[in-house]
C-alpha cells in the first residue's frame, strides 16, 4: 500500500468517525426532546425531581450522563 492510499484510508476513517459522533449527539438531543415533551422525565432540575418524588411518594432515579 502506498502512502497516498494510506492517507486516503485514514481520512475516510476519520470522516466516518466524526460523522458517527455527530449522529450520536444528534440522536441523544432528539431523544431528550421527545422524553421531555412526554412529561415523564425531569432533566437538569434536581430540586424539582426531589419535590416530585416527595409529592408522589415514588423513588427518585438520578442518571448522570456525559455526551462527549
In a domain? residue 39: yes
Check residue 20 and give its pLDDT.
55
pLDDT, residue 66, reads 75
pLDDT in tens, 2-58: 877 776 667 666 666 555 556 777 887 788 788 778 877 887 889 999 999 999 999
Instruction: Give the H/E segment covering residue 42.
Output: none
Q: Does 13 map to a domain?
A: yes
Q: Does some domain include residue 66?
A: no
User: Which of residues 22 and 59 earns the better pLDDT score?
Assistant: 59
13 membership: H or E segment, kind and range: helix 3-38
Q: Is residue 61, in this structure, part of any structural domain at all?
A: no
67 domain residue, yes or no:
no
Is residue 41, in this structure, part of any structural domain at all?
yes
User: How many structural domains is the chain composed of?
Assistant: 1
State the pTM of this model.
Answer: 0.47
Does 9 map to a domain? Answer: yes
Whether residue 63 lies inside any domain: the answer is no
Domain that holds residue 33: 3-56
Identify the residue whose cell numbers are 485514514.
Answer: 10
Amino acid at each position: 500500500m502506498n502512502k497516498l492510499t494510506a492517507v486516503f484510508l485514514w481520512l475516510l476513517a476519520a470522516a466516518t468517525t466524526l460523522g458517527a459522533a455527530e449522529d450520536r449527539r444528534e440522536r441523544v438531543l432528539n431523544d431528550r426532546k421527545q422524553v421531555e415533551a412526554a412529561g415523564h422525565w425531569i432533566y437538569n432540575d434536581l430540586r424539582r425531581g426531589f419535590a416530585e418524588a416527595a409529592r408522589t411518594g415514588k423513588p427518585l432515579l438520578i442518571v448522570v450522563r456525559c455526551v462527549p
